[in-house]
Every structure is written in C-alpha cells, then in structure tokens.
Amino acid sequence: MTITDPAVGPPQHPAWTEIQQSPEFGSLRKRLRGFVFPMTALFFLWYMAYVLLADYAHGFMSIKLWGNINVGLVLGLLQFVSTFAITMLYVRHATKNLDPAAEKIRKEIEGEDA
C-alpha cells in the first residue's frame, strides 16, 4: 500500500518493529487482548449454550415462570441483556484503558515523521 498511495506511508518509515517490541505497546496489546479474547469466549459459549438448550432441552425451556412467560423467553431476553452489558463494559474499558495509551503512541509515531 505504500507504493499505491504515498499519503499512507511516508517515505521515511516509522520503526514499526521497534515500536511493536516496546513495553508501552506490549502493555496496550495485553490490555486489548486481555479484555476482548476472554469476553469473546464468554459471550460465544453463553450464546451456544443457549442455542443448545433451545435445541435439545425443550422441556426445561418450556417451564412457565409467570403467566405465559417461560424459561426460554427469559433466557432469550437475557441474551439481549448480556449483549448490551458487554457493549457497555467494553466501551468503558476502551475509554479508560486503551484510548489514552493508543493516543500517546500514535502521537509519537505521527510526530516523529511529520
């Protein structure tokens, strides 16, 4: 891409590998992956557990809790709740723990070859 569009890659490359190896960047990566990987595993397992229950545990899902509201409906609505909750947790994590560090490194890179 540096060939196709000079605006993307300046002629003097930032030392990408050096930055990548820096402890500062390492800690940013760790904080990103430390959040998104376990969270992805969590919502995926929770979703698949729900799909399997709806698929193979009809009796359990059909138990009525209040009036016509059964376990299946409540678990389904909880999927909505967990999706909204994970979204809010991630935004908070990113604003607090990722954005400032990313911004700092970005300024160092763009400053040095501007």
State the residues that interact with other proteins by CB under 8 A: 1, 3-5, 8-10, 13-14, 16-17, 19-21, 25, 28-29, 32-33, 35-36, 39-40, 43-44, 47-48, 50-52, 54-56, 58, 61-62, 66-70, 72-73, 76, 79-80, 83-84, 86-87, 90-91, 94, 99, 102-103, 105-106, 109-110
Q: How far is the CB of 23 from other proteins (least distance, A)?
A: 14
| Least gap, CB of 41 to other proteins (angstroms) | 11
DSSP 61-104: HT-EEETTEEHHHHHHHHHHHHHHHHHHHHHHHIIIIIHHHHHH
What is the nearest approach in angstroms of other proteins to the Cβ of residue 50? 7
Give residues with Cβ within 8 angstroms of 93, minimum separation 6.
Answer: 35
Cα dihedral 104, 110, 113, 114 in deg (nearest 10):
-120
